[in-house]
Structure 1
Amino acid sequence: MPLFCLLLGVAFGFILSRSGAADYNYIQGMFLFEEFQLYGIIGTAVAITAPGLWLLKRYGRTLTGRPLVIERKAGHRGNLYGGILFGIGWSITGMCPGPVLVNVGEGKLYALAAFAGVLVGAGAFGALYPRLVRPFRLPPLAVGTGEG
Structure 2
Amino acid sequence: MMTLFYVVLGTLFGFILSRSGAADYDYIQGMFLFEEFQLYGIIGTAVALTAPGLWLLKRYGKTLTGKPLVVERKAGHRGNVYGGILFGIGWSITGMCPGPVLVNVGEGKLYALAALAGVLAGAALFGCSYRVLTRPFRLPPLAVGTGEG
Task: Name structure 1 gaps, 5 residues minimum.
Answer: none
Identity rate of aligned residues, in percent? Answer: 86
The one-letter code matched in structure 1 to 2:3 is: P
- Answer yes or no: is the 8 Å Cα contact 1:29–1:35 preserved in 2: yes
The one-letter code matched in structure 2 to 1:137 is: R
Residue by residue over 1:80-99, the C-alpha shift from the partner in whole angstroms, topping out at 9 and shown as x without a partner, is 00000000000000000000
Partner of 1:58: 59
Task: Compute the TM-score of the two structures, normalised by the length of structure 1.
Answer: 0.94
Partner of 1:30: 31
Once residues 62 and 56 of structure 1 are traced to their aligned partners in structure 2, the CA distance between those partners, rounded to angstroms, is 10
Does the residue aligned with 1:69 lie in a helix, a strand or coil? coil
Question: How much does 1:66 deviate?
Answer: 3.1
Q: 1:146 to 1:69 in 2, by over 3 A?
A: farther
The one-letter code matched in structure 1 to 2:40 is: Y
Partner of 2:112: 111
Task: Name structure 2 gaps, 5 residues minimum.
Answer: none
- Answer yes or no: is the 8 Å Cα contact 1:56–1:62 preserved in 2: no
Partner of 1:70: 71
- Answer yes or no: is the 8 Å Cα contact 2:60–2:68 preserved in 1: no
Deviates more, 1:83-92 or 1:42-51: 42-51
Give the CA RMSD over aligned residues. Answer: 1.5
Partner of 1:94: 95
How many residue pairs end up in the alignment? 148
